[in-house]
């Protein structure tokens, strides 16, 4: 797949969850992990005291993103109840 078509697909998938803060946060967290892996830096969303941190593999990250998009689609269809952002950030 070309970069242009990958970008278009990413934006299309993100548009499905654009109105749901919970799933946008979940997608953003996964993308930040991917960016950190590429740059060999520890992502800012991980606490420094978390000594057990291991960056996700590409496969794990793509699986997490796929799951987030599927959950978002189910939430939009009213088949799944989302979690409030405040509660998500506390976990």
Instruction: Write out pLDDT tens, residues 56-88.
Output: 888 888 888 988 888 888 888 888 887 777 777
Q: Is the pTM of this model over 0.75?
A: no
How does DSSP classify residue 33? H
- Residues 35 and 44: their CA atoms lie apart, in Å, by 11
| Predicted local confidence at residue 38, as pLDDT | 81
Confirm if 77 and 70 have CB atoms less than 8 A apart.
no
Residue 49, pLDDT above cutoff 70: no
| C-beta atoms surrounding 15 within 10 Å | 9
Q: Give the start-to-end residue ranges of the domains of the chain.
A: 3-90
Residue whose entry in the numeric block shows the structure tokens 């593999």: 57
> Distance between the two ends of the chain, CA-based, in angstroms?
36
Confidence of residue 39 (pLDDT cuts 50, 70, 90): confident
């Amino acid at each position: 797949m070309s970069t242009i078509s990958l970008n278009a697909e990413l934006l299309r998938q993100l548009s499905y969850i654009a109105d749901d803060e919970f799933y946008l946060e979940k997608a953003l967290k996964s993308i930040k992990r991917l960016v950190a892996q590429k740059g060999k830096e520890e992502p800012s969303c991980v606490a420094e005291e978390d000594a057990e941190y291991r960056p996700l593999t590409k496969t794990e990250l793509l699986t997490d993103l796929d799951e987030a998009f599927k959950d978002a689609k189910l939430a939009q269809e009213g088949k799944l109840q989302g979690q409030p952002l405040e509660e998500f950030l506390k976990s």
